[in-house]
Structure 1
Amino acid sequence: WWACTWGSPCHTRGGAVGVSAPCIQRGHPWRARLEPVSGVGGQRGVPGVGPGRPPTLALCPQWPYCRKHCSYCSFNKYVVPAVDEAAVRACLVREARTLLRLGQVRSVTSVFFGGGTPSLASPQTIAAVLEAAAEAAHLPAGAEVTLEANPSSASPARLAGFRAAGVNRLSVGVQSLDDAELRLLGREHTADEARAAVEAARGLFPGRTSIDLLFGLPGQSREAWARCLEAALGLCDDHLALYQLTLERGTALEARVRQGALPAPPQDLLADMYHTARAVLAAAGFRQYEVSNFARKGALSTHNLSYWRAEQYIGVGPGAHGRFVPWGEGSCQREARVQTPDPDTWMKEVQSHGHGTRRRAALSPLEQLEELLALGLRTDEGVTQQRWGRFSPQLPLRAVFGVPGEAMALQQQGWLLLDGRGLRCTPEGLAVLDSLLPGLLCQLQRCWARTAGTGGRDTGAAGGRGTEAAGGQSTEARGGRGPE
């Protein structure tokens, strides 16, 4: 309902699945509807940021260009004969400055360059955006700065240029280590090129190189996936993102499956692949800290955690998404924002107005709690008592989910835990999160309606307008092709 259309800057990876299959949906559902909304409950202030103005948030610049269309990609990407990079760079810099000042941001906690294929941008462009962030707000020396890279545009010299520009973490869109699967996906690179790119990245970004893998490809067998996992473990650093392929309408791969030219993967097989991956990675010392993300030696992505913890972020560039309070306009209400998708139109708007925000909608307190719940439950830490209290100081977590209802039934069935730490899925529940969320969201809405005395709103079983919650279109947190 909200994450089902997730895609990353480069291509689609994870997708929502049925009750019997793993919940490998994307970390940020970026296609949520942005119709105007009204506040619920009459709360004052800014839920989720406290009474004072937020001093920090994350930045999500987007590079919308690719060299080719991959067969499974439905993201906001453009394949053009030539790119006026100087013009795009100037607009990225101007929009970053404008929105950071609009949010009166004091410090940028992390930066994630998504796309498109951001490794096609020059190190000069990456450096210029980082300098703009440092000037308009503050970018601490140790802040995580991730760039998504495709193996076909990740030569050692190019990666060294990105490191010199300020990048300190790389997300490599490997997707598969089988040449036949890569051809099916329409990828530019071969398996050998992917290995070379990851090895070069690990040399330049030791301990901070992540790789993406896709599973559930049409015709992919359990044995082929096991071989891919084994090869990935011999290649990877300390972070992996595994995404179940989503066959998005309008893509070449989806059309071939719909027409019967390729087989649709059985749901039971998808579930087996997911559970196999979890077991293999756990044995190798990886912690599953989110539905699709695994890390060891503490190599969690702090930027992606900011999405799942429902923190604020600003999206910059064509099609980017954001969640922040525009204090500079005199507002104290958190907004969902989407930048104009088409690069040429976006540049004209930035040149005229300083930014290319196409749509914006104030988020009601209930909608913010819905996002917090849906995103927070994707992680192994879940929704903590402290975080819930920041968004809902007058309606405790236990008052919503510690009473008879869906949540209590899920606890009794072993899918969910509610204790002094907060609300979280058990390992078994995390694997079927899609099937748990609708009931939990309905329980939240009913409780909110009773407490607020507003009668609620007709949101349906899927929980309201949904959550596009994860800015920009970063791949790693969302699950799409490409880079991470």
Structure 2
Amino acid sequence: MIPSTTRLLLSSARKLCGAVKMRSLHTRNTEEAAVYVHWPYCEKRCTYCNFNKYIQRSDNEDAIRACLLKEASTLIQLSQVRSISSVYFGGGTPNLASPHTIGAILEVISQNALLQQDAEVTLEVNPASIQNSKLHLFREVGVNRVSVGVQSFDDSELLFLGRTHTACDALHTVEEACRLFPGSTSVDIMFGLPGQSMESWQSTLKTLLAICDDHVSLYQLTIERGTALFKQLQRGQFSPPDEELTAHMYNFARRTLCDASFHHYEVSNFARNGALSRHNLSYWLGKQYIGIGPGAHGRFVARATGGTQREARIQTLEPDPWMREVIQHGHGTRKVVEQNDLEILSEMLVFGLRTDTGITHEAWQQLSPSISLKHFFDASHELKMLQKLELVLLDESGLRCSWKGLAVLDSLLVPLLSQLQYAWNQMEKEGSPKDTT
């Protein structure tokens, strides 16, 4: 899940890059990719949700399964990757799909590329009554990690969010997941809810730590235009969350989780005992990934057609048009854009700085041999000030956010992206950079 502010910054970065003519990408490893599979259906739409979700008809799982299988085969063959490092079933509510559908998708992925022996296979799960749980069946078809969308352990908060489960359902689901997937169960929890007090947040964290496994994702509620919550806010039915209190909740949660031996390895993610999300690290480290299903995004080199540059791909949003396109063309790709080096550097900044390790000098220079990170900062008073304030750290290992910098990352990205655009324009005026690889 990418926070909305980060998505907006990425969109702005792409617009900045669009008018600049670039040299070709220094191709990195194109032999391996992660796979994201989007299941677009939910039982209902939550009040805060602006994702690509729909209410499923009762008669179309066979049809969408056939199309997911066909598109997976087509796109993996197009990429000509030899191995798949991870598969992530997101949504929507992918645990509404039958285990047969999940298993069939994993089988067709394995038929078209090597699904690595230790590949991470994650299924997003919404809590359900214990009678409706199919977790053991998903494990039997190849799922080895689950991400449980708890969001809250407070029934009044769950009602406000429009969730279909209760706090009791959440507790039962997490307990069962931890039993079936020990060391590989992640829990999503939300903070910054209207009316949420520091006391209730502390209680939520206490409950979480009593039952969670080795991975936790914290997400701040964002009220998006077009959602039910946005309309309620416009009508004055509740007051927006206090920004200072929300920041305090985030920092308190960080300290609490770290005190419980969790490693804060990404802005929103915490892991202990080495249980980092390998699939999400593929995004943050700029690796290839293939997006399958309605509205899915991908980043890979289409080697089957002679491609040498990485392409940003977006699949058709709505399930029915997407299925028609898959039946006709083998895939439902609606938009393909070749990414130039400036776009990839922008994504490296946006995603790499989300992690505690940040961006190494080697990774940066692979795409930007003429603009070192040190030169990049020395040329900007504003960026030097970020260093002076100890919001970002630049040393022999590379560039990364400090502890306090991670808490205000989105505000830091604005000057960083602007300086990147300026530095690249200056470099273009002086002549195309020489390829040093």
Q: TM-score when scaled to structure 1?
A: 0.85
Hey, what does 1:459 align to over in structure 2? none
The answer as to whether partners of 1:39 and 1:363 remain within 8 angstroms in 2 is no
CA contact (8 A) 1:174 1:213 kept: yes
Please show how residues 28-177 of structure 1 align to structure 2 within 5 Å.
Answer: 40=20, 42-44=22-24, 46-47=25-26, 49-50=27-28, 54-152=30-128, 158-177=134-153
Partner of 1:204: 180
The residue number in structure 2 matching 1:465 is: none
Q: 1:202-248 CA deviation, whole Å, 9 max, x = no partner?
A: 11100000000011111111111111111111110010000000101
Specify which structure has the bigger relative contact order, considering alpha-carbon pairs within 8 angstroms and separated by 6 or more residues: 1
1:353 is matched with which residue?
329
Q: Kindly indicate whether the alpha-carbon contact (under 8 Å) linking 2:127 and 2:169 is maintained by their aligned counterparts in 1.
A: yes
Unaligned segments of structure 1, at least 5 residues: 1-5, 8-13, 17-24, 457-484
User: Is 2:306 aligned against 1:326?
Assistant: no
Within the alignment, does 1:213 sit opposite 2:213 as a pair?
Answer: no
Alignment pair present for 1:271 and 2:247:
yes
CA drift at 1:119: 0.5
Alpha-carbon deviation of 1:394?
3.9
| Corresponding residue of 1:336 | 312
Q: 1:369 corresponds to which letter in structure 2?
A: L
Closer/same/farther in 2, CA of residues 327 and 405 from structure 1, 3 Å limit = farther
CA distance in 2, matches of 1:67, 1:157: 15
Give the corresponding residue for 2:414: 438
Amino acid at match of 2:337: A
Moved more, 388-397 or 72-81: 388-397
Residues 122 and 80 of structure 1, relative CA distance in 2, 3 Å threshold: closer
Deviation readout 1:89-122 (Å, 9 max, x if unpaired) = 1111110111111111111111110011000011
The one-letter amino acid of 1:392's match is S
Q: How does 1:324-473 map to 2 (within 5 A)?
A: 324-453=300-429
The count of aligned residue pairs is 432
Amino acid in the other structure paired with 1:427: W
Note the alpha carbon deviations across 1:373-428, whole angstroms, 9 max, x for none: 11100110001122213322343322323444332221111111111111000001
Letter in 1 for 2:46: C
The CA RMSD over aligned residues, in Å, is 2.2
Q: Which amino acid aligns with 1:429?
A: G
For the 8 Å contact 1:38–1:362, the answer to whether it is kept is no
Distance in 1 (CA, whole Å) between partners of 2:129 and 2:423 is 51
Q: 1:124 to 1:33 in 2, by over 3 A?
A: farther
- Which residue of 2 is the match for residue 310 of structure 1? 286
Mapped partners of 1:348, 1:153: distance in 2: 35
Structure holding more strand per residue: 2
In structure 1, the residue corresponding to 2:58 is in which secondary structure? Answer: coil
Relative to structure 1, the CA distance from residue 32 to residue 116 in structure 2 (aligned partners, 3 Å threshold; closer, same or farther) is: farther
- Normalising by structure 2, we get a TM-score of 0.94
More helix by share: 2
- 1:81 Cα deviation from its structure 2 partner: 3.4
| CA–CA distance in structure 2, aligned partners of residues 86 and 29 of structure 1 | 38
Aligned residue in 2 for 1:260 = 236
Unaligned 5+ runs, structure 2: 433-437
Three-state SS of the structure 2 residue aligned to 1:323 is strand
Q: Which residue in the other structure is 2:277 paired with?
A: 301
* TM-fit CA distance, 1:454: 7.5
C-alpha separation in 1, matches of 2:428 and 2:204: 51
**Which residue of 2 is the match for residue 460 of structure 1?**
none
- Asked whether the 8 Å contact 2:129–2:172 carries over to 1, the reply is no
> C-alpha deviations, 1:178-209, integer Å up to 9, x for none?
01100111111100110000011011100000
Instruction: Note closer, same or farther for the CA distance 1:328–1:38 as it changes in structure 2 (3 Å cut).
Output: farther
Aligned-pair identity in percent equals 52
Mapped partners of 2:70, 2:347: distance in 1: 29
Q: Which amino acid aligns with 2:23?
A: Q
For the 8 Å contact 1:335–1:363, the answer to whether it is kept is: yes
Cα distance, 1:324 vs structure 2: 1.0
- Could you tell me which of 287, 290, 307 is aligned with 2:266? 290
- In 1, are the aligned partners of 2:120 and 2:145 still within 8 Å (CA)? yes
Alignment partners' CA distance in 2, 1:442 and 1:37? 11
